Structure 1
Amino acid sequence: MSDSKLIETTKDFVKTTLENAEGGHDWFHVLRVYNNTMLIAKTENVDATVVALAALLHDIADSKFHDGDEAIGPMKAREFLFSQNVDSTVIEHVVKIIENISFSKSLDKKNQWTSDELKVVQDADRLDALGAIGIARAFNYGGFKNRKMFDPGIPPNLNMTKEEYKKSTAPTINHFYEKLLLLKSKMNTKTGKKIAEQRHKYMEEYLEQFYAEWDGKR
């Protein structure tokens, strides 16, 4: 199978699998991450097939929606790629990216793994957590989990462990400080950093407006 055919087959598989997914982690999220990946990859020395497949399969079974099981996503990706007779080296690289792409994984100081391809897809995924779409995704997920938008009596926890982060039920505004506003400094690539800068600024402006409205000042 040609690489282009493989990519199209993978898109169809992901679109079908995520048909009823939560709005912030659905097919359109994956498509945005894929498009971000292809943009960033233009200026990086990476395997285009590996980053494309990893971007498309990175949320095929997000642990948040599978009782915290971090093994199911990589397993589903591996099974699909194996069914398409993809080279084993490519499969293992894609699976390793999926295993290591998440923000929560970066909180685990042990067993850190990386590759240039991971850096590209990770930046692409993190960009979708920033800016206008990042804000929309945060509140969409907060609503999905029936969380408060904001509670002045619950301060952000800026020193969470990986397990604390995964179990957090804090208000959505706290998530800005516990993750979203930290992403700009964690970008890996020049292109990712440039785009993140603008999206980060937009979120800061949004928070300023949010607090002003909350306090009845605007």
Structure 2
Amino acid sequence: MKEQKSIQLEHIRHWVKEALTNERTGHDWQHVTRVAKLALYIGKTENADLFIIEAAALVHDLIDAKIALEHRLEIQEVKEQLASFGVSHEQIRQIADIITTMSFRDRERRAEKPLLIEGKAVQDADRLDAIGAVGIARTFMFAGAKGNSLYGTGNSAYAHFSDKLLLLKDMMNTETGIKLADERHEFLLRFIRQFQRETSGLDCETS
């Protein structure tokens, strides 16, 4: 059984890598591999099902509306592909439940259906990758891909910090996620302070 799961995960990795390698909004294969690694780390501390966690982390962005249509799939397509790799009906149901309920934008609509520990691990990992140094880099990568400005408008990269990123630390589900989020959040705050100084010209002033 362990060998079978390893083979299935290898198939999933290859499939997702092919699908997202050229993705340009920061929801690419590198993002997916970071989320999977973080999610597994969190899952191990929570005694969760590591197969479900890794599989869900690997496929979580394939249905994300933020990525380009050329990379995006419908949830049914994801289910069918997982089934072709021999993933069981029950496992596919669990994976689908995670990736269709973990989105930040759906947090209020999905509040009536709390995530299980596997989903909480993947959601924490995805949110961790949105803050800290890599989260900052992804924010500007996304803004560039979408043609949004650096700052000064409602859709700017800078607006995303207050709209979403600064909220994530207090939305972690697990003790491990909370601990990991603290350092990344502090880095985010330091960056914002320096960004504000530079964009307002305060760093040009002399005493």
Distance of 1:47 and 1:109 partners within structure 2: 22
Q: How many Å apart are 1:21 and its aligned residue? A: 0.8
- The superposition leaves residues 108-141 of structure 1 with CA deviations (integer Å, 9 ceiling, x where unpaired) of 2664342111100000100000100000000110
Q: Cα–Cα, structure 1 residues 110 and 43, in superposed 2: closer, same or farther, change >3 Å?
A: closer
2:94 corresponds in structure 1 to 93
Q: Is the 8 A contact 1:58 1:73 kept in 2?
A: no
2:47 corresponds in structure 1 to 45
Amino acid at match of 1:36: L
Q: How many Å apart are 1:61 and its aligned residue? A: 3.3
Q: Cα–Cα, structure 1 residues 118 and 109, in superposed 2: closer, same or farther, change >3 Å?
A: closer
- SS of alignment partner, residue 61 of structure 2: coil
TM-score (norm 1): 0.86
1:202 corresponds in structure 2 to 187
2:115 corresponds in structure 1 to 114
* Root mean square deviation of aligned Cα: 1.7
Q: Cα–Cα, structure 1 residues 109 and 26, in superposed 2: closer, same or farther, change >3 Å?
A: closer
Q: How many Å apart are 1:45 and its aligned residue? A: 2.5
- Map residues 21-170 of structure 1 onto 2, 5 A cutoff: 21-65=23-67, 72-108=73-109, 111-151=112-152, 154=153, 170=155
* Structure 2: unaligned runs, 5 residues or longer: none
* Structure 1: unaligned runs, 5 residues or longer: 155-168
Deviates more, 1:57-66 or 1:95-104: 57-66
Q: What is the total number of aligned residue pairs between the two structures?
A: 199
- The superposition leaves residues 69-90 of structure 1 with CA deviations (integer Å, 9 ceiling, x where unpaired) of x9x4422320111111211110
Identity of aligned residues (%): 39
- The superposition leaves residues 52-97 of structure 1 with CA deviations (integer Å, 9 ceiling, x where unpaired) of 1000010123212357xx9x44223201111112111100000110
Distance of 1:214 and 1:32 partners within structure 2: 31
1:179 corresponds in structure 2 to 164
2:174 corresponds in structure 1 to 189
Amino acid at match of 1:29: H
Distance of 1:124 and 1:149 partners within structure 2: 26
- SS of alignment partner, residue 81 of structure 1: helix
Distance of 1:212 and 1:48 partners within structure 2: 44
Amino acid at match of 1:56: L
Distance of 1:58 and 1:78 partners within structure 2: 12
1:211 corresponds in structure 2 to 196
- The superposition leaves residues 147-180 of structure 1 with CA deviations (integer Å, 9 ceiling, x where unpaired) of 11111xx5xxxxxxxxxxxxxx611111111110
Distance of 2:136 and 2:63 partners within structure 1: 22
Q: Which runs of 4+ in 1 moved over 6 A?
A: none
2:10 corresponds in structure 1 to 8
